[in-house]
Amino acid sequence: MTLSGCEAKPGVAAVSQAGEITEAELGQVSAELAQISLVDRATVLQSLLVLKHGGKEALKHCPTWEDIPVKDFEIPAGTELSVQTKNVLTLSLCQAAANPAVAQNLGLPVTNPKTAAFLNTIFNSLGNPGVERSAREQYGLSILEQQIQQRQAQPRMATPQE
């Protein structure tokens, strides 16, 4: 049996046409984001892949890290975030701010619809065969997909009408 792609390269979490995401890179961003909010490795991996596939270029059309009201993240004092972690957070906020109500709530400008559409296109394309994930990451993604399907299948409680 021979290994290919990221399975043949120790320390590589995913390989795509845009490059590799290393386990160290994925681990660092996951650990830093865990200090701020609940986040799983699969979501971090997807965001890092989006950045490699053109998302970093799209960040030029999003608020800069300095423009984002960081106090809302409740980052513990003395925590230093890497540039990659800041980019992942900025990417997430940029996508969320495509909704005007969310943007207003976050205190951010509404994301340009073209930028939001571009980012959505990248996110949607990451399920294609051009992205090869390690067995560990593929397993994590399958668990995440199952959780999403379970949430969608659960009946929603009706809200009381006033």
- Range of the structural domain that residue 28 is part of: 11-128
Interhelix angle 23-34/83-96, rounded to 10 degrees, is 60
Total domain count, the chain: 1
| Within-domain flag for 146 | no
What pLDDT does 38 receive?
60
- 133 assigned to some structural domain: no
Task: State how far the Cα of 94 lies from the Cα of 128, in Å rounded to an integer.
Answer: 23
Within a domain: 145: no
- For residue 162, the model assigns a pLDDT of 42
Residue 137 phi, psi (nearest 5): -70, -35
What are the b/e assignments for 49-85, b being 16+ CB within 10 Å?
A: bbbbbebeebbeebbebeebeeeebeeeeeeebeebb
| Segment 21-75, tens digit of pLDDT | 888 888 888 887 776 666 677 778 888 888 888 888 889 999 888 888 765 667 7
Residue 3 has pLDDT above 60, yes or no: no
> What token pair was written down for 12?
């590589």
Provide the H-helix boundaries in 10-82: 23-34, 41-50, 56-58
Instruction: Provide the whole-model pTM.
Output: 0.61
C-alpha to C-alpha distance for 140 and 119, rounded to whole angstroms? 23
Q: Is 87 a member of any domain?
A: yes
Higher pLDDT, 141 or 13: 13
In a domain, 134, yes or no: no
Please report whether residue 141 resides in a domain.
no
Q: Give alpha helix (H) positions in 12-134.
A: 23-34, 41-50, 56-58, 83-96, 100-106, 113-125
Q: pLDDT value at position 29?
A: 83
Say if 108 falls within a structural domain: yes
> Within a domain: residue 44?
yes
